[in-house]
Structure 1
Amino acid sequence: MLDFKQYDSAFAKHHDSLDIMITPILSWGFYRESINDVKSIYVDCNKLSLIASSSKWGVKDWDFKNKLKEEVIIVTDTKLEIVFASHNLTKMNGYREEEVMGRSPKMFHGSATNSLTSNEIRKAIQLQEPFEKTVLNYKKNGDTYLCLIKGFPVFNRKGELSHFIAFEKAA
């Protein structure tokens, strides 16, 4: 029968002679977080593609995959009710997708939000024109943050208004 102590000793001696670096278990958390971000971007892209195909959006080169790495994407219907919010909304303001679905993006506004800027956005939406504005928004916990919003009307293949899409990031 084989003596396991000799085997363990020989294996340890061999292992010590190797020029390798041991990775601490703590680093696995970073890897997992990175993988989860990639998975979330994939899921968000699929959801956006489903909305686009079911609504027959006209040809537009939206680079959702790269946008989702740095920006929050919010899609509303023509009544300005949120039908999609990307996973990274939580990082920006603390809200989860389920909490904002069916609500207006005005839910992020508060008493310190500039009404002039809000009116300019509302006017662009009514005229179905793209806009780019920086707005003072409120996080779920009540803190404020500046948010750069690039909003676009989205039309279907027949040229009818289908949705509004906003690419947002903390300014």
Structure 2
Amino acid sequence: MFHRYDLAWEKYQKSLKLLPLPIVSWDFYQQLPNEIKTIESIQESWTEKINFAKDIANKSVIITDSSLKIIYVTPEIAKLTGYSSREIVGNTPKMFQGNLTDVATRNKIREAVKNQHPFKEIVINYKKDGTSYKCEIEAYPKFDANNNLVHYIAFEKIAS
């Protein structure tokens, strides 16, 4: 009886014309839940939370601590800059600056950060391979319940 079932199942599978592919890695399956968990743990102290799926999924985002040390990047930042997330985390956003990065714009950003204000600027940044690109940065300070600065979140994209 089971033999007929097995033959029928095999015949059915062949009729589907599907190509089975081996699963090389489950990383693609694990990636999203880990990012959500990381974002949720980062913003636990924030007074205003962000919705991962709506606000930062598939966007180039950098989150720094209050001293501007990078603690989180989305995979899109790696695509934008050519650096891996491991190379970026632990550094400051200054790692993307170079000779053509405008000093006046750097000073505007430094002043906004010092005063804990949001900012939007276009800067010349550099990729890992040394090529420059115009980067539009829109950044927001994030505060805890005691109004202490805990993080900066920056949305980045190629400026048009």
TM-score normalised per structure 1 = 0.73
The correspondence for 1:40, drawn from 26, 31, 40, is 31
**Superimposed CA distance per residue, residues 15-65 of structure 1 (whole angstroms, 9 cap, x where no aligned partner):** 9xx8x8877x8xxxxxx9xx93x7534422221111112xx111x242322
Change (3 A) 1:122 1:77: same
The correspondence for 1:126, drawn from 106, 114, 120, is 114
Q: Which amino acid aligns with 1:158?
A: N
- Residue number in structure 2 paired with 1:137: 125
**Superimposed CA distance per residue, residues 128-170 of structure 1 (whole angstroms, 9 cap, x where no aligned partner):** 0001111111001111111111111110011111111111122
Q: What CA distance in whole angstroms lies between the structure 2 residues aligned with 1:74 and 1:93?
A: 12
The alignment status of 1:65 with 2:53, answered yes or no, reads: yes
Q: What CA distance in whole angstroms lies between the structure 2 residues aligned with 1:128 and 1:139?
A: 27
Count, aligned residues: 153
- Residue number in structure 1 paired with 2:67: 79
- Residue number in structure 2 paired with 1:106: 94
Contact 1:70 1:169 in 2 (8 A): no
**Structure with the greater alpha carbon radius of gyration:** 1
TM-score normalised per structure 2 = 0.78
- Residue number in structure 1 paired with 2:41: 50
Q: Mind listing any 5+ residue stretches in structure 1 that lack a counterpart?
A: 1-13, 26-31
Contact 2:46 2:142 in 1 (8 A): yes
**Superimposed CA distance per residue, residues 49-99 of structure 1 (whole angstroms, 9 cap, x where no aligned partner):** 11112xx111x2423223334421111111111111112211111111111
Q: What's the Cα RMSD here?
A: 3.0
Q: Mind listing any 5+ residue stretches in structure 2 that lack a counterpart?
A: 1-10
Q: What does 1:78-97 correspond to in 2, within 5 Å?
A: 78-97=66-85
1:159 partner SS: coil
